[in-house]
Every structure is written in structure tokens, then in C-alpha cells.
């Protein structure tokens, strides 16, 4: 188990674009950052709390290892352990409400008692946000709140309980001629409430935009138990602040989302998928530009995965080569990197004509070595499995440090090679693979660093190095997974001190007792904050010392 405990300020941190011009004079001699909230004094869970929960919830919805509960602590492991097995809590109480009223009663009690609460969806999050950091938090698992409340076929507005699984919603919508505006590898387990709370991006974002564009309203139980009933389903509503957007991406730190109303696009009758093999990353940059320009409105996904990702998902050597022969339908397939290009449209002939013309042009040119167009649903599914199976394959190959970052696509190769060089030179073989893939249509690079074990030394080799590197490229340290517990203390690598201060004020206004998902998103003290922002610590570190300045984590 690896814990992201607060570590001392690194000796070197890079120049950030945010921050104070002269931070040292902003907070002379200060050790406490100006916006850091007092740490909430949260209560310990007692048998009386469990008795209270049992007074309004059936015993089947209360799983507690604390008397009078009857669940063995080991039976709570699944709720306490994240998808990667990296973050492990010790909560002794999991509640599984079926209704918004039940969530409200739970929250009223937790608020009165100052008990920490961790909202949990499908527990597929990758930054440790959905599991507790200690033993006194109550986990509220939304899995039993799984009813579709309404669907309007003419407007495409779907209203559903937060615990509905993404894939279930998509299957329902497909039967109605619509589709969910998001799709991700974890679709069989993740829930729409979790998707909203992480502002999940995924595979269709290039076409339908982020959840900020598609969520029309939310029902949220506030920390004190009151219910914000905002399931209006209106596309246009400019009556003041758009509060529901604050819960999109809040990672359970502001309230418990219990209902979601969102806009779903019509199902496209014509879906085409092409897999291209390209010689190198320079070719990828050129082809992505051409694809965008030529496919325009029918483009629905552009995904990149390099040789390392191919190898991890298909097997190294002969095994991977055999899959290549099958997928590309050729006896020999030259080595290289891969692009998946999906189109979705309403007129099959029109889309096929556009895509075929593009593929012919690309295959005639220097940037594409070979390609394959899925001929039926089975082939289409097979090609998507190659891309969607990467995260799981990395998990099977070893313990994974995940970096989900936004970086201009021109920099992806630089970021990957810098990291690979560091791994080769300094990890003493502990880092086995650095796997690169991502939603290139959105500039979202995923790096999975596969190791034999979770190890503090590896973590320190990678962090904050990765975040400094991303910052130096003008990127974001979290493109779509959120901050959770993994990246909370590094928030100043992507936000200014003023933004952090305002976020803390929002948190204090919504959750004055600090009971919601303690330890996630907003750190007690962010790295660099004691000195008034990272910029003030070491002006020009990157400029002056080049890559040497990135040695902060050693």
C-alpha cells in the first residue's frame, strides 16, 4: 500500500506561470498559508452511530464491523480498496442507501456528529478519491440507487439515479435511439454519479464535449442533509450562478450526488472505425491534423497508443505480432505507433465515402504504414478492445503509477522520452515499463508506469517530477481523473494560489464542517504553499538548471 502523505517541500520546484511575483514578501516568515482552512476535527465512529443508521435503514443496507453490526472487517475490503489496489482505507461502516431520503437522513446524522463521509460509486477512480484515508469515515455506496427516473425521446433528456452504471444507461438509451455522451473503459462498473463527480472525459469527448456541456441538472444531498433539487433538465437557464457545475468534478467533496439529468445525443446509425499503424510520433501529429480537417463533424474519437501499449495489451514478441497480422490482415506489419479513428454519422454512404477517401490519401502518403477498417461489429469491438484493454493489461503486468495529464500534443513524445530516460537511468530496474497512450483528440495523455511493486522510492522518483514536467509544458496535472488523494497536495502545479483560496472558500460555504471526503482534492497545505506559491520558491529553476531542476523528487 502506498500512502500519499504530505512530504516536505522539494528542494527545487520549477517556475510556474501562476503565483506571486515575489511570494517571499507576500507572506514573510509565514508557515501557515493564508487560505489553508483549519483542519476539521472529525469524530470517531461509535456503536451508537451504527445503531442510529440501523434505526432507519434495513440491516441489509448497513455493513459495519463495529457493534451492533455483524460484518467481518475483511468483508469491507472491497469498499476500502481502490481499483488499482494502491489506496486502501479501513472504514468500518458502509451504507448502501436506496433513496435520496435515506441519503439525507445519513448526512443529517453525519453532519450533527461530524463524521467523515466518503461517497462511492463504482470505485473505478484512479486517484484514490473513492476510498477512505482512515477508519472513521462512513462510506456511502450509491450502488443500490440504480433506477432510471425518466427519459424524453424528443429532447434526449435522461434523468437517472446517481448509482446507475454507465453501460446500463447506454444500453437503455440505445434501445431508444440515443447514446450516452461519454464512454470509458470502466463503463461496466462506473456509475453516472461517479462520472459526474470526476467530470469523466473518456472516448467520446472529442465529439460531445465534457460533462459540463451535457449535465443539465443535479440532485445533491448537501453535507447537512438538505436536498438540492436541481433536476430541471433545461438547456437554457441563466438565473444566477450555475451551482450544479460546482459538483461536476468536485470528487465528492461538496455533497452526495443522488440524481443526474443529462442531455443524450441521438444514436448514430453509421459508425466506422479504422486502425492505423504509423512509423513514428511525427507522423501522428501530421495525421491527426489531416483527420480533423477532413472528417470534421463526423469524427467521434481519435485515440493514440504507442508500441509499449500495444505490447502490454497483446503480449510482447510473437504474441503481439500475431495479433497484428490478424487485426491488420497482413503477413507482416511494420513496427510503429497506432491511431484509432472513429466516425459516427447519420448517413452511412456519406461517412464511408469521406473516410475511405481519407484512408486512401493517407495510405498513399508517407505517414501511414498500413491500416484496417472494421468490417462489422465484431471487428469494431476487437479494435476498441485493443485500446480499452490497456489500463487493465498494465494492472495485470504489475503495480501501476498512473499519470493522466493534459499536455499539448506536440510535447507528448518529449514527455514520454524524458520519463523513460529517467526510469532507465535512475530506477535501478524497478520501473519495468513506461506505457504511453491517450485521448489524443483532446490532448489527454495517459502514462502508466508499471513496476514490480508499489515503493516509496519509485513514487519519489516520479513525483513531483512528473508534475513539474507537465507544468513546464504548460499542461495540467490532471486531465480527467481528478486530484483525489494522489494529486491533492500538488494542486498548485495547475492552479494559482488565488484559485486555491477561492476553492477553499467554496468548500467552506458548502461543507462548513469539512466532513465530505476528507483529505481529497484540497490539501491542508499544498506543496509550495508555505512560501506563498511555487513560483516564489525558486525563480527560474527550469530555465537555469534545465532537466537538473526536475530532480526535485530524488
Ligand X SMILES: Cc1cc2nc3c(=O)[nH]c(=O)nc-3n(C[C@H](O)[C@H](O)[C@H](O)COP(=O)(O)OP(=O)(O)OC[C@H]3O[C@@H](n4cnc5c(N)ncnc54)[C@H](O)[C@@H]3O)c2cc1C
Using CB under 6 A as the binding rule, whether residue 119 contacts ligand X is answered as yes
Instruction: Provide the minimum distance between the beta carbon of 475 and ligand X in the complex, in angstroms, as a whole number.
Output: 16
Q: Which of 122, 225, 436, 514 binds ligand X (CB under 6 A)?
A: 122
Determine the Cα–Cα distance for residues 379 and 532; give it in Å rounded to an integer.
Answer: 54
CB 361 to ligand X: min, Å: 29
118 binds ligand X (CB under 6 A): yes
Which strands make up the sheet holding 93-95, listed edge to edge?
62-64, 93-95, 138-141, 117-120
| 340 closest CA partner among 448, 204, 478 | 204
Please answer whether residues 236 and 251 qualify as being in contact, where contact means their C-beta atoms are separated by less than 8 angstroms.
no
Nearer to ligand X, 203 or 434 (CB): 203
CB 279 to ligand X: min, Å: 27
φ/ψ (deg, to 5) at 231: -85, 60
- Residues near 385 by beta carbon (within 8 Å), at least 6 away in sequence: none
Q: Per-residue string for binding with ligand X, 498-527, x by CB under 6 A?
A: -------------------x--x-------
Of 122 and 156, which has the nearer Cβ to ligand X?
Answer: 122
Q: Which residue is nearest to ligand X (CB)?
A: 194
Instruction: Find the shortest distance in angstroms from Cβ 455 to ligand X.
Output: 22
Compare residues 142 and 157 and give the one whose CB is closer to ligand X: 142
Comparison of 198 and 496: residue with beta carbon closer to ligand X = 198
| Residue with Cβ nearer ligand X (194 or 528) | 194
Choices 121-129, 348-356, 461-469, 544-552; region in contact with ligand X by CB under 6 A: 121-129
Asked if 184 contacts 192 with a C-beta cutoff of 8 angstroms, the reply is no
**CB-wise, 199 or 472, nearer to ligand X?**
199
The single residue among 15, 66, 179, 256 that binds ligand X, judged by CB under 6 A, is 256
> Is residue 536 a contact point for ligand X (CB under 6 A)?
no
Sequence-distant (≥ 6) Cβ neighbours of residue 101 within 8 angstroms: none
Alpha helices in 262-408 (DSSP H): 281-295, 307-314, 317-328, 348-364, 377-388, 390-397
Nearer to ligand X by Cβ, of 181 and 497: the residue is 181
Which position among 181, 252, 436, 523 is part of the footprint of ligand X (CB under 6 A)?
Answer: 252
278 versus 393: smaller Cβ distance to ligand X: 393
Distance, first Cα to last Cα, the chain: 20
Binding residues for ligand X, total number by CB under 6 A: 38
All three cell numbers of 62: 448497513
Residue 123 interacts with ligand X (CB under 6 A): yes or no: yes
Distance, in Å, from the CA atom of 462 to the CA atom of 456, rounded to the nearest integer, reads 10
Alpha carbon separation from 309 to 209, 219, 280, 306 (Å, rounded): 26, 39, 14, 5
Name beta bridge partners: 260.
Answer: 160, 218
441 binds ligand X (CB under 6 A): no
Q: What angle do CA 361, 342, 415 make, to 5 degrees?
A: 85
In the DSSP assignment, the letter for residue 10 is P
Stretch that binds ligand X, among 94-102, 108-116, 167-175, 480-488 (CB under 6 A): 480-488
Minimum CB distance to ligand X, residue 125 (Å):
3
Sole binder of ligand X in the list 89, 181, 202, 259 (CB under 6 A): 202
User: Given candidates 194, 223, 519, 533, which one binds ligand X under the rule CB under 6 A?
Assistant: 194
Interatomic CA distance for residues 244 and 258, integer angstroms: 12
The DSSP 8-state label assigned to residue 162 in this structure reads T
- Interface with ligand X includes 83 (CB under 6 A)? yes
Q: What are the C-alpha distances in Å from 534 to residues 17, 323, 341, 515, 528?
A: 9, 47, 39, 28, 5
The stretch among 252-260, 328-336, 367-375, 457-465 that binds ligand X (CB under 6 A) is 252-260
Which of 334, 341, 273 has its CA nearest to residue 307? 334
Site for ligand X in 289-348 (CB under 6 A): none
CA 187 – CA 344 distance, rounded (Å): 19
User: Does 137 sit near ligand X (CB under 6 A)?
Assistant: no
Q: Are 128 and 486 in contact (CB under 8 A)?
A: yes
CB nearer ligand X, residue 103 or residue 359: 103
- Comparing CB distances to ligand X, the nearer of 190 and 340 is 190
- Do residues 113 and 121 touch, judged by C-beta distance below 8 A? no
> 259 or 536, CB closer to ligand X?
259
**CB nearer ligand X, residue 15 or residue 165:** 165
Q: How far is the CB of 525 from ligand X (least distance, A)?
A: 20
3-state secondary structure of 548: helix
Question: Binders of ligand X among 360-399, rule CB under 6 A?
Answer: 391-392
Residues 366, 422: contact at Cβ < 8 Å?
no
- Find the part of the chain contacting ligand X (CB under 6 A) among 125-133, 171-179, 232-240, 463-471: 125-133
Task: Give the side-chain half-sphere CA count within 13 A for 552.
Answer: 26
The closest of 503, 464, 496 to 16, measured between CA atoms, is: 496
483: nearest Cα among 536, 537, 523, 441:
523
Interaction mask 173-192, ligand X, x per CB under 6 A: -----------xxx---xx-
Within 205-293, strands assigned E span 215-221, 227-230, 256-263, 270-278
In the complex, minimum distance from the CB of residue 510 to ligand X, in angstroms, rounded to a whole number: 12
Q: Which of 125, 336, 345, 528 binds ligand X (CB under 6 A)?
A: 125
Summarize as ranges the residues that interact with ligand X (CB under 6 A): 83, 118-126, 129-130, 142, 162, 184-186, 190-191, 193-195, 197-198, 200-202, 251-252, 256-257, 391-392, 480-481, 484, 517, 520
Amino acid at each position: 500500500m502506498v500512502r500519499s502523505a504530505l512530504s516536505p517541500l522539494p528542494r527545487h520546484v520549477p517556475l510556474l506561470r501562476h503565483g506571486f511575483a515575489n511570494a517571499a514578501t507576500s507572506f514573510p516568515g509565514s508557515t501557515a498559508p493564508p487560505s489553508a482552512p483549519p483542519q476539521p476535527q472529525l469524530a470517531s465512529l461509535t456503536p451508537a452511530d451504527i445503531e442510529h443508521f440501523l434505526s432507519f435503514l434495513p440491516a441489509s443496507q448497513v455493513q459495519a464491523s463495529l457493534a451492533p453490526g455483524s460484518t467481518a472487517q475483511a468483508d469491507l475490503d472491497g469498499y476500502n480498496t481502490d481499483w488499482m489496489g494502491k489506496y486502501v482505507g479501513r472504514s468500518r461502516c458502509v451504507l448502501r442507501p436506496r433513496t435520496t431520503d435515506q441519503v439525507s437522513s445519513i448526512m443529517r446524522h453525519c453532519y450533527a456528529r461530524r463524521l467523515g463521509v466518503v461517497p462511492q460509486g463504482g470505485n473505478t477512480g484512479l486517484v484514490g478519491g473513492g476510498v477512505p484515508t482512515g477508519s472513521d469515515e462512513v462510506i456511502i455506496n450509491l450502488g443500490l440507487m440504480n433506477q432510471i427516473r425518466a427519459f424524453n425521446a424528443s429532447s434526449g433528456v435522461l434523468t437517472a439515479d446517481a448509482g446507475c452504471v454507465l453501460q446500463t444507461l447506454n444500453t437503455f438509451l440505445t434501445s431508444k435511439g440515443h447514446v450516452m455522451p461519454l464512454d470509458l473503459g470502466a463503463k461496466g462498473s462506473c456509475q453516472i454519479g461517479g462520472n459526474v463527480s470526476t467530470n469523466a472525459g473518456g472516448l467520446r469527448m472529442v465529439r460531445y464535449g465534457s460533462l459540463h456541456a451535457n449535465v443539465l441538472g443535479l440532485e445533491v444531498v448537501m453535507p447537512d442533509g438538505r436536498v438540492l433539487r436541481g433536476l430541471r433538465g433545461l438547456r437554457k437557464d441563466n438565473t444566477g450562478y450555475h451551482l450544479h457545475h460546482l459538483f461536476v468534478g468536485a470528487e465528492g467533496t461538496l455533497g452526495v450526488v443522488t440524481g443526474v439529468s443529462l442531455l443524450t445525443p441521438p444514436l448514430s446509425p453509421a459508425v466506422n472505425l479504422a486502425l492505423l499503424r504509423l512509423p513514428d510520433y511525427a507522423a501522428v501529429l501530421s495525421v491527426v491534423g489531416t483527420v480533423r480537417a477532413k472528417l470534421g463533424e463526423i469524427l467521434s474519437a481519435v485515440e493514440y497508443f504507442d508500441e509499449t501499449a500495444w505490447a502490454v495489451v497483446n503480449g510482447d514478441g510473437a504474441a503481439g505480432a500475431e495479433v497484428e497480422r490478424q487485426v491488420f490482415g497482413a503477413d507482416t506489419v511494420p513496427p510503429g505507433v497506432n491511431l484509432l479513428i472513429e466516425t459516427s454519422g447519420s448517413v452511412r454512404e456519406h461517412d464511408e465515402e469521406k473516410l475511405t477517401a481519407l484512408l486512401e490519401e493517407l495510405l498513399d502518403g508517407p505517414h501511414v504504414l498500413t491500416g484496417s477498417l472494421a468490417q462489422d461489429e465484431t471487428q469494431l469491438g476487437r479494435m476498441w478492445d485493443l485500446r480499452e484493454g490497456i489500463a487493465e493489461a498494465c494492472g495485470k503486468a504489475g503495480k501501476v503509477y498512473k499519470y493522466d495529464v493534459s499536455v499539448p500534443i506536440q510535447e507528448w513524445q518529449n514527455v514520454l522520452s524524458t520519463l523513460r530516460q529517467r526510469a532507465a537511468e535512475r530506477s535501478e530496474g524497478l520501473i519495468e515499463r513506461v506505457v504511453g497512450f491517450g485521448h489524443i483528440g483532446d490532448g489527454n495523455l495517459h502514462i502508466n508506469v508499471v513496476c514490480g511493486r508499489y515503493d516509496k522510492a519509485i513514487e519519489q522518483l516520479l513525483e513531483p517530477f512528473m508534475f513539474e514536467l507537465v507544468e513546464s509544458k504548460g499542461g495540467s496535472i490532471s486531465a480527467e481523473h481528478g486530484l483525489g488523494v494522489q494529486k491533492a497536495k500538488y494542486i498548485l502545479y495547475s492552479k494559482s494560489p488565488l484559485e486555491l483560496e477561492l476553492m477553499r472558500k467554496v468548500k467552506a460555504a458548502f461543507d462548513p464542517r469539512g466532513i465530505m471526503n476528507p483529505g481529497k482534492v484540497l490539501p491542508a497545505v499544498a506543496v509550495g504553499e508555505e512560501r506563498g506559491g511555487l513560483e516564489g520558491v525558486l525563480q527560474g529553476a527550469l530555465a537555469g538548471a534545465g532537466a537538473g531542476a526536475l530532480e526535485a523528487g530524488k
